[in-house]
Amino acid sequence: MQSELSVGQVAERSGVSVSTLHFYEAKGLIRSWRSDGNQRRYGRDVLRRVAIIKVAQRTGLSLSAIRDALATLPPDRVASTDDWRRLSESWRDELDARIARLTRLRDGLDGCIGCGCLSLKLCPLRNADDHLAQQGPGAAMLER
Amino acid sequence: MQSELSVGQVAERSGVSVSTLHFYEAKGLIRSWRSDGNQRRYGRDVLRRVAIIKVAQRTGLSLSAIRDALATLPPDRVASTDDWRRLSESWRDELDARIARLTRLRDGLDGCIGCGCLSLKLCPLRNADDHLAQQGPGAAMLER
DNA sequence: CTACAACCTCAAGCATGGTTGAGGTCAAGG
DNA sequence: CCTTGACCTCAACCATGCTTGAGGTTGTAG
């Protein structure tokens, strides 16, 4: 179990490509130091970080949002259980919200199947985030 | 109730910008003909089409997928109730699948809160679509 | 010593979904 | 007649999330 990993080793173990690791580093999501020969070296914490990035992306977060979340982690140590709990709880809330939005959209779709109105004024599917939406009943049924 | 609409009128009524209408036309999602003075003219069916595009986007479909779906609509008439039912049913299935994926992800997140393992081999969150995933128990718990 | 794999930087490219701007035309009102 | 607003085309640009390629260096095995 080595304590230093090359970029290729990190790529293989984390399942992302070398170019993606370069990219994440340029974007400030991960860090490395350099060997004598100017090659990147990573601590084992990078594996956890990449894992977190991948999970967070699946929740629908942008890389910049993930970077901000990761910035709250201790910079030079493997993220602890508590760190992970804090992040995953906030991301679960985001996920819940996304699921709720999609569910409302689906229910709206169900309600409108066969109706086909899509009336700008009346249909809740249309009016979800319509710029013309009045505060009438159902206007807030669906959100973006 | 006019039967011909200018691009500005369509923009105002549909809630998308003129440039977006140009863009959709270039991508083959909507059609127009031209006036004597080379200005775009739209039939009223374009309003329904734009409405459908907007709803479909919220289900997570790409414009090209939406274009393909719209291609099954009668080109020069307002989409009928049956047309709309056919589309909305298939989109609802897609939505259901997306909701299910996100729900599994959230449940995995819940299950892993406090665990923080993210083990490449063991954690279901990690292994969802892991290239190294073995067909062990839970390996298919989460999908992309 | 030489070859080859793995690494480096930096720039450009791709796909998606649009927006912005330059430069020009068209149609209606004063 | 002249201005004004709405329209036209085409190219370039924006952000996101990467990949690809050129041209050069490093490190290890034979």
Cβ burial B46-65 (10 Å sphere, 16+ → b, else e): bbbbbbbbbbbebbebebee
| A106 closest CB neighbour out of B13, B54, B96 | B96
Question: Structure pTM?
Answer: 0.81
How does pLDDT run across A134-144, given as a tens digit for each residue? 333 333 333 33
List residue ranges whose Cβ is under 7 angstroms from nucleic strand D: A 16-17, 19-20, 22-23, 35-39, 57, 62-64; B 6-9, 11, 18, 22, 38-40
Range in A74-78, B29-33, B122-126 with the lowest mean pLDDT? B122-126
| A85 closest CB neighbour out of B15, B91, B116 | B116
| A95 closest CB neighbour out of B13, B109, B112 | B109
- Cβ(B114)–Cβ(A85) below 8 Å: yes
- Cβ(A79)–Cβ(B116) below 8 Å: yes
Copy the structure tokens of residue A128.
Answer: 């979800």
pLDDT band at B62; cut points 50, 70, 90: very high
Query: What is the number of other CB atoms lying within 10 angstroms of the CB of residue A130?
Result: 19
Summarize the confidence of residues B13-36 as an average pLDDT. 95
Chain D positions within 7 A of any protein Cβ atom are 6-10, 16-20, 25-27
**A58/D16 CA-to-C1' distance in Å:** 15
- Position B66 scores a pLDDT of 95
How does pLDDT run across A47-72, given as a tens digit for each residue? 889 988 998 998 899 999 999 999 88
- Position B6 scores a pLDDT of 95
Residue A133 touches chain B, beta carbons under 8 Å: no
Domains present along chain B, CATH in parentheses: 4-128 (1.10.1660.10)
